[in-house]
A and B are shown apart, each in its own frame.
Chain A
Amino acid sequence: KAGVTQTPRYLIKTRGQQVTLSCSPISGHRSVSWYQQTPGQGLQFLFEYFSETQRNKGNFPGRFSGRQFSNSRSEMNVSTLELGDSALYLCASRTNNGAGASYNEQFFGPGTRLTVL
């Protein structure tokens, strides 16, 4: 089975621009979560999508948004980029069969390294 894939792997943007990151989950996984990883803040939860609906949300400003398509692929968008948005953005997928899904492990992609200049 192919793992979680994220594109692009590296991205350089300037302040004020917007960016879209893409994540393809493992086949059969319907839940996709996004995380921001920085040296200072560690691993911060952004949001989780299941069946095209946002199920959980972290404490990030509205500039961070996401969506999930019917094939479970997910995109994350950051508008009006700030220097502090430079980070490794990780996507994770897991099988999800409803209320009991949280016991399933998450499978992480390699991440997208975003640099904002």
Chain B
Amino acid sequence: AQSVTQLDSQVPVFEEAPVELRCNYSSSVSVYLFWYVQYPNQGLQLLLKYLSGSTLVKGINGFEAEFNKSQTSFHLRKPSVHISDTAEYFCAVSDQARGKSTFGDGTTLTVKP
């Protein structure tokens, strides 16, 4: 069984400020880790993923995430946000053997001018 907990349901931040969206996961099997973004009235699109190797992963739009195996976390960060980053962000894990994916409840990031 696997589960994903996104620790903040809403994160308001001012433009050009740094942001961190937190994600913890639990799984009895090995998983891959993903962050997706959903803009209003659209489907989800991939920001970045961790498969193996370096624990710091860089994605699109200046986002990066760090995998911490001991803390079973995969937090998403951006050093300076823009208004256009306002969206909902989902953390997800995928069972390496069976491919079944589990998503967190999402974090709504609101960037204010």
| A interface, CB within 8 angstroms of B | 4, 31, 33, 35, 42-43, 45, 48, 55-56, 90, 92, 96, 99, 101-103, 105-111
Given A31-B99, A90-B43, A111-B43: A103 touches B51 (CB 8 Å cut-off): yes
Given contacts A56-B100, A101-B99, A102-B95, list 5 more A-B pairs with CB under 8 A. A43-B106, A105-B49, A106-B44, A106-B46, A111-B43
Minimal Cβ-Cβ distance residue in B for A4:
B43
B32 within 8 Å of A (CB atoms): yes
State whether B106 touches A102 (Cβ < 8 A): no
State whether A56 touches B98 (Cβ < 8 A): yes
A-B residue pairs in contact (CB < 8 Å), sample of 20: A4-B43, A42-B106, A43-B103, A45-B101, A45-B103, A48-B99, A55-B99, A56-B100, A99-B97, A102-B32, A102-B94, A102-B95, A102-B96, A102-B98, A102-B99, A103-B32, A105-B46, A107-B45, A108-B43, A108-B45
From 64 to 82 in chain B, residues with beta carbon under 8 angstroms from any chain A beta carbon are none
Chain A residues with CB under 8 A of B101: 33, 45, 102, 106
Range, interface on chain B: 20 to 34
State whether B104 touches A42 (Cβ < 8 A): yes
Contact with A along B29-67 (1 / 0, CB 8 A): 000101010000111111001010000000000000000
- Whole-angstrom distance between the alpha carbons of A28 and B28 in the complex? 32
Tell which of B49, B90, B98, B100 has the most Cβ of chain A within 10 Å.
Answer: B100
Tell which of B36, B44, B49, B99 has the most Cβ of chain A within 10 Å.
Answer: B99
